[in-house]
Amino acid sequence: MGDARPGTVLTCASCGTANEDGRKFCVECGARLAATCPVCGTVNPAGAKFCGECGSSLAAAGEVALTRSATAEAPTVSGNGRQLSASGPVAERRLVSVLFVDLVGFTAASEQRDAEDTRELLSRYFELAREIVDRHGGVIEKFIGDAVMAVWGTPTAHEDDAVRAVRSALQIVEAVAGLAGGQPLEARAGVLTGEAAVTIGATGQGMVAGDLVNTASRLQSAAAPSTVLVGEATYRAASGAVSFEEAGETHLKGKESPVPAWRAIAVVARRRGEGRAAMLEPPFVGRDEELRALKDQLHATAREGKPRLVTLVGQAGIGKSRLAWELEKYLDGLVQTILWHEGRSPAYGEGISYWALAEMVRGRAGIAESDDPETARSRLADMLAQWVPDATERRWIEPRITGLLGLDDLPAEPREALFAAWRTLFERMAAQSTVLLVFWDLQWADQGLLDFIEHLLTWSRTSPIFVLAEARPDLFDRRPGWGVTVRASTSIHLEPLEDDDMRALLAGLVPGLPDEAARAIVQRAEGVPLYAVETIRMLIDRGAIGRSSDGVQYELVGDLPDLAVPETLHALIAARLDTIEPEDRALITDAAVLGLSFTIPALQA
């Protein structure tokens, strides 16, 4: 073609080969070539200069590539900080993790949709994928129709690239379900880890090429809707932080031998497997919307640079701590730095003021309970020097922090002055990264701590500080107006799980649990996950449930015994009973004699 654009290439979607502009079929595999719009992802005919869907130029990428390779005189820097060669792109072999995601049945469904609606849906999908991949330190390689290809390990490698790729895949597949406004929409994904030919600094052409790319694409095609399949190397690299189940050997197009695959289930620990439960950990079920709300609120805090309060409310054992643990695992995989702090309000003793806040400061300073006062002061000084650059401000804050930690007496001054100093410390942290404060068991907090939290959220108007308060409903009995003075305050009330969710929890916790046992536990648990989990542990400890001969499933050993309250819950229930009024406790005692079902007249008698 006489007006062909020099330097532009078309990358074959089938085999990844770079073809000269103007060609209609791939010189390597013979597949029909197409140009994918870098803005909206629409596939255009080979040789097109502008996207037929959104009007964006299809020549820009190629022209940029030509300009850089011909005129660059100084080093360029990649998006994540790696210095690139001044002479242009550099080819090398690298260990990478490649992710492919596509929408299931989208092409057929698009025939029933308006073109504008289809474009809008694709735009939201591509933006969602780009956002999740960026958060986990990956790079979007390309959009191909309704498929997304992303890569980790180039131009900068991380020790947990495989984990990041699997995390991203799970999150994209989960999030896609909510993109179509209630209409069914599913995605599937494949992740492979291995060596590939990588072009560092590539623009307008494929950055990663080789058999790994083709195999990852075909692995994704073999995945069932709403699932993520990974290869053996990815499984080995990510199994410490992600739970998998074997998917068997998969026959992929173009492969002579079947490829072993694993199905990614969920993130179960922080990076390098830190925090993974040594005991039984049930699957995370029935709380996807609540977790999504927590993520959205946190990202809004970082994006807007303003404080937010989210209060998780629910009875003991309903899943508040598990929801926060899922959030912590999610944050651990992000590139963005989140300064996590946590502190618990004890249920015992009077006059224990600001205990949870003091725990947060000790954690940030690295002060252990066994540290002597001199060591604690030294570590506190180092922490303040790191986060509070102004020496005058440090001298003002330090005695108020040492008083909070019990190293000195608190200065004799109005409480507002103490609050201002403590608030300033978190504001200086927030000037560098988003600050997250998790207050556990806030129903037991002293009124002073509750006042400080509301003070912090009211006065730190331009600081990204996210407060996650975990509490039982008793908090609102003690503090009826909790959070009403905070500009951005949300309460998430956790209700008991549905029976289907409880059965899914039990099936994931104990595969092959006999139906008789499952029905009995679901009935007794009444939607409280902790009750079901502790009942299973009790039955295993007592030998009522054991592994079957295959070593994988569980089976009932003999008759199912009466399901008594597990010993691990006795103290929890007793403590709850002790908090209610004497007349209410007496009423519960009478009702317990009558059983689970009774009439009001019988109770009155």
For the chain, percent of residues with pLDDT exceeding 90: 37
Q: Does domain 288-493 have CATH number 3.40.50.720?
A: no
User: What's the chain's average pLDDT?
Assistant: 80
User: Among 219-228, 393-402, 529-538, which is the least confidently predicted range?
Assistant: 529-538
Of the candidates 38, 11, 16, the residue with the CA atom closest to the CA atom of residue 217:
16
Q: Is 215 exposed, middle or buried (0-12, 13-18, 19+ CB in 10 A)?
A: buried
Pick the CATH number of 86-273 from 3.30.565.10, 3.30.479.30, 3.30.1050.10, 3.30.70.1230: 3.30.70.1230
Per-residue pLDDT tens over the stretch 265-282: 888 776 555 555 545 568
Q: Report CA 586 to chain centroid distance, whole Å.
A: 45
Where are the CATH 1.10.8.60 domain residues in the chain?
496-564
**Is the full-model pTM beyond 0.75?**
no
- CA dist 575 and 540 (Å) reads 26
Q: Diameter of the chain by CA atoms?
A: 99
Per-residue pLDDT tens over the stretch 568-605: 555 556 555 555 667 776 777 777 666 655 667 766 66
Beta strands at 465-471 and 308-313: parallel, antiparallel or unpaired: parallel
CB 174 within 8 A of CB 129: no
> What is the reported pLDDT for 81?
43
- CA dist 476 and 206 (Å) reads 57
Q: Answer yes or no: is pLDDT of 2 > 50.
A: no
- CA dist 407 and 376 (Å) reads 8
Beta bridge partners of 438: 342, 468
> What is the reported pLDDT for 75?
38
> What is the reported pLDDT for 304?
94
Which residues fall within 8 angstroms of residue 548, CB to CB, at 6 or more apart? 512, 554, 555
> What is the reported pLDDT for 85?
46
> What is the reported pLDDT for 77?
40
- CA dist 178 and 298 (Å) reads 19
Where are the CATH 3.40.50.300 domain residues in the chain?
288-493
Per-residue pLDDT tens over the stretch 52-69: 655 555 654 333 332 222
> What is the reported pLDDT for 37?
53
**Mean per-residue pLDDT for 506-520?**
81
Domain boundaries 496-564, corresponding CATH code? 1.10.8.60
CB 377 within 8 A of CB 407: yes
> What is the reported pLDDT for 233?
87
Q: Answer yes or no: is pLDDT of 240 > 90.
A: no
- CA dist 163 and 142 (Å) reads 21
Per-residue pLDDT tens over the stretch 463-475: 999 999 999 999 9
Per-residue pLDDT tens over the stretch 126-149: 999 999 998 888 899 888 888 999
